[in-house]
Amino acid sequence: MSGKTWKERWQRLQSASAEELRDHLRRHAYARAAALRYRLGWGFPATLRDTEGEAEPSFLFAENQIPAIVELLKRRTPMQVGDILSRAERICQHKFDLLGYRDLDYGTEIDWHSDRVHGKRAPRKPFHSIRYLDFEQVGDVKVTWELNRHQHLVTLAKAYRLSGNEKFATELFDQYKHWWRENPYPIGVNWTSSLEVAFRSLSWLWVYFLLKDSKACPRWFGADWLQALGISGRHIERHLSTYFSPNTHLLGEGVALFFIGTLCPQLKSAADWKQRGWKIVLQESERQVQSDGLHFEQSVYYHVYALDFFLHARILAARNGMVIPKQFDQTLIKMLEALSLLGRAGVPPRLGDDDGGRLFDPQRNCLEHLLDPLSTGAVLFERGDFKSLAGEVREETLWLLGPEAADRFDELPSTGPSRESVALSSAGLYLMADSNTAQQLVIDAGRQGTGTAGHGHADALSLCINRDGHSLMIDPGTCEYVGEGPERNNFRGTSAHNTMRVDGLDQADPLNPFAWRNLPKTTVERWITGETFDYFVGSHDGYQRLNSPVVHRRFIFSLKSRLVLIRDVAEGAGEHHLEIFWHLAPDLRHKKQHKGHSFASPENGVTLHTADGRGWAEDVTQQLWSPAYGRTEPAPVAQFSTISELPAEFVTLLISHRGNVPEPGELAKMAATTEAKGEGGAASVQGYRHRNADGEHYFLFGPGAGGWSLPPWTGDTEFVYFGLNTDGSRELIFCHGSHAEINGRPIVSCAEDTTRCEIIEKSNGETAIFSSSRAVSQHVRLRDITLESEPVLSANSGSGSQRSGE
């Protein structure tokens, strides 16, 4: 959805290429010529050609397949059939579910220009003169457009096929005729966006092929339908979003041109539209999809949105005997694989904007529906791993691939998804997974988005956690794009994400609802995956724009499913207001513990322990999250804040769990902090100790260059973990270094700097060493290491000049 003001459009045009200027002038001329033609009453008749003797095109399903699909739906998805019929009944009463809004009553006569949510009505004048993003003039145009996509007409058509009740078809065609009376081309807000014209055209195609051979389809509809698609195809072709919204807008428009051109060969321009639409689809699959399969908007919802477009176009092309480029299929597989990776521990995290719309069924727009494409992908590409995550064949798959898709889905051997940690580096997503439990932590360390990051959020270094199909730490979503309040910026701002905010500012400056300026650059400094752990270090420069610049650096150490330690460091000088936010899933209930906070449901939960030093205030409140566009609900948020001289740091230890909340542990900072001299000069060494019922855990962060000492520890490594478990087992892990000692006794050494080294000693004395270097020497058994009670700072005390934030 484009969001440029007239001033911004003018500035954009001033920097535009000659071809872009010509395109703008052509669009400008087309729009005004259409308005003049309407005033003169000349109309817009479709130019037809004779197709006698030519093979008829094939839709996604054949007419004779409809009864079999209907019977499969009744047998396999009875609840969904009931939902379709229930929605159809309400549609007949002019009550609609649009985006996240439920049961909007449009009265006896539908006002197609109205935003019922905000009580606004767009003016009924030529589309080019309507400021469709002006809330005062039109309200939230997405609400208006959502109704005018006519996807509810497809619901009525399916309801007729499922029930045989002719009232659904009668209502469908009455609404269709009424819409054209109220929206004659080119009048009204429903012609302002070519993408919306594309969606509406696709809906009309579905309606026609669902009903064309039924007794419920009136005789006049075929000719009227061709006329309507002729107008729409010409409009889309002349107003392609080639320069002003070259993202899913252009992709959706290309898909619609391809569908109209393929399925309406009687239209004179059909062959050109088919060719041009298919070319757009193929080009955009290369341009919009990054090398690891993620969509370039840096939004999971838009990733699924684009994937739907590609899949529908690909299947229609194959149905009509077109050659599918191998590269295109490979792109689709990568997109499906990326989606499956994000969803292998539960619903994918909602990174970036949530558009709220879907191509097949607009009601499948919540988190739990984002894995729907995996059902179709499983059958199309014979992937058992996609099947295992989809769980069951979807309604959409049956319409797209025919009734035989159910048998093919059933016959596929289901294979569990990979549980290995993986980096989707081109998108900047780092997935810490565990092969023993279905837990995954997703770190967002990518760019904020493409261009001015219109659909990206200020969420650098944020993270989300799922376990066993349940969300623990979440991204609160989008809420809405425009409105009277501050929701747009609040939901896409830094405080709405699980990261650090400095001086009350977002990591980038919001320019308008669909643009940012001063976008941060995020740098991934370390990504190390081991047998028992994952380690990530990243930073961003979003606060370098401050008068006293700040760099946020985040260290994340995951001992797979057992615990996650997160160390946030604000580097710089001067006094700053620092805040850390943790957004928890809405079904988790908060309980304050002596040394932390637990958030739990009967099935799952997570406990937060903090070692913050002196002066960090803490607060747990109920704030809003958005499960779907336009809908908000309360969810718990833990917030920690301070006003401090820099550098300053905050450490959080997360322990996820099933069922009962574990006994509270204690996370404390080791008091003996010394200076280390290396190539980079003096730098602090930081150490933390966590004790709980399972044992003791030590975490040491070196300066990154040269040797260091933090009694009783000595070494030259960037990071050390040492674990003493109550079952007698021991673990030592270090990253980037060559040796580690305790009480002057060498523990392990390598002949060269080593990326990672793990020593795992079981209670029976068996020892395993995993290392990126072959030359590793273990000098003492881990079970022979003893630690005296070294001095620590309590969780609520420390050194420094921090003072509590207001």
Same domain membership, residue 427 and residue 406: no
Same domain membership, residue 436 and residue 412: no
Distance CA 247, CA 241 (A): 8
The pLDDT score that the predictor gives to residue 407 is 97
In a domain, 383, yes or no: yes
Contacts for 126 with CB less than 8 Å, ≥ 6 apart? 31, 34, 35, 38, 186, 187
Q: Which two tokens stand for residue 763?
A: 């209670």
Distance CA 156, CA 727 (A): 63
The pLDDT score that the predictor gives to residue 684 is 76
Same domain membership, residue 726 and residue 650: no
Same domain membership, residue 437 and residue 464: yes
Final residue of a structural domain among 392, 418, 444: 418
Same domain membership, residue 568 and residue 452: yes
Per-residue pLDDT at 2 exceeds 50? no
pLDDT interval class at 801 (50, 70, 90): very low
**Cα atoms in the Cβ-side hemisphere of radius 13 Å centred on 71:** 7
Question: Tens digit of pLDDT for each residue in 86-112?
Answer: 999 999 999 999 999 999 999 999 999
pTM to 2 decimal places: 0.94
Whether 174 contacts 92, CB under 8 Å:
no
Question: Tens digit of pLDDT for each residue in 15-62?
Answer: 778 888 888 899 999 999 999 999 999 999 999 999 999 999 999 999
In a domain, 304, yes or no: yes
Same domain membership, residue 570 and residue 531: yes
> Residue 540 pairs with which residues in a beta bridge?
522, 552
Question: Tens digit of pLDDT for each residue in 400-422?
Answer: 999 999 999 999 999 988 899 99
Work out the percent of the chain whose per-residue pLDDT is above 90: 78
Same domain membership, residue 680 and residue 652: no
Tell me the CA distances in angstroms from 694 to 35, 286, 659, 665, one per residue in order: 75, 50, 17, 9
> Residue 464 pairs with which residues in a beta bridge?
442
Total domain count for the chain?
A: 3
In a domain, 556, yes or no: yes
Distance CA 221, CA 226 (A): 9
Distance CA 545, CA 522 (A): 14
Q: Please, which contacts does 566-569 make with residues 24 or more away whose CB atoms are closer than 8 Å?
A: 566/463, 566/651, 566/652, 566/653, 566/654, 567/649, 567/650, 567/651, 567/686, 567/688, 567/699, 567/701, 568/500, 568/649, 568/650, 568/651, 568/652, 569/647, 569/648, 569/649
Tell me the CA distances in angstroms from 589 to 290, 592, 610, one per residue in order: 38, 10, 19
Question: Tens digit of pLDDT for each residue in 219-233?
Answer: 999 999 999 999 999
Question: Tens digit of pLDDT for each residue in 651-699?
Answer: 999 999 887 777 767 888 876 555 555 444 445 789 999 988 888 999 9
Per-residue pLDDT at 520 exceeds 50? yes
Summarize the confidence of residues 607-626 as an average pLDDT: 87
In a domain, 118, yes or no: no
Q: Which of the pair, 388 or 683, is modelled with greater confidence? A: 388
Q: Which two tokens stand for residue 689?
A: 């100790």
Distance CA 377, CA 370 (A): 13
Question: Tens digit of pLDDT for each residue in 195-220?
Answer: 999 999 999 999 999 999 899 999 99
Per-residue pLDDT at 540 exceeds 70? yes
Identify the domain containing residue 525 by its residue range.
Answer: 422-659
Average pLDDT value for the chain: 91
Q: Which two tokens stand for residue 793?
A: 């700072």
In a domain, 581, yes or no: yes
In a domain, 120, yes or no: no
Same domain membership, residue 315 and residue 464: no
Final residue of a structural domain among 364, 393, 418: 418
Q: Any idea what the CATH number is for the domain that residue 476 is in?
A: 2.70.98.70
In a domain, 123, yes or no: no
Same domain membership, residue 414 and residue 432: no
Same domain membership, residue 479 and residue 404: no
Work out the percent of the chain whose per-residue pLDDT is above 70: 94
The pLDDT score that the predictor gives to residue 279 is 98
Same domain membership, residue 568 and residue 442: yes
Same domain membership, residue 678 and residue 645: no
Question: Tens digit of pLDDT for each residue in 736-754?
Answer: 999 899 888 899 898 888 9
The pLDDT score that the predictor gives to residue 244 is 80
In 347-461, DSSP assigns E strands to 422-424, 429-433, 439-444
Final residue of a structural domain among 659, 681, 696: 659
The pLDDT score that the predictor gives to residue 692 is 85
In a domain, 435, yes or no: yes
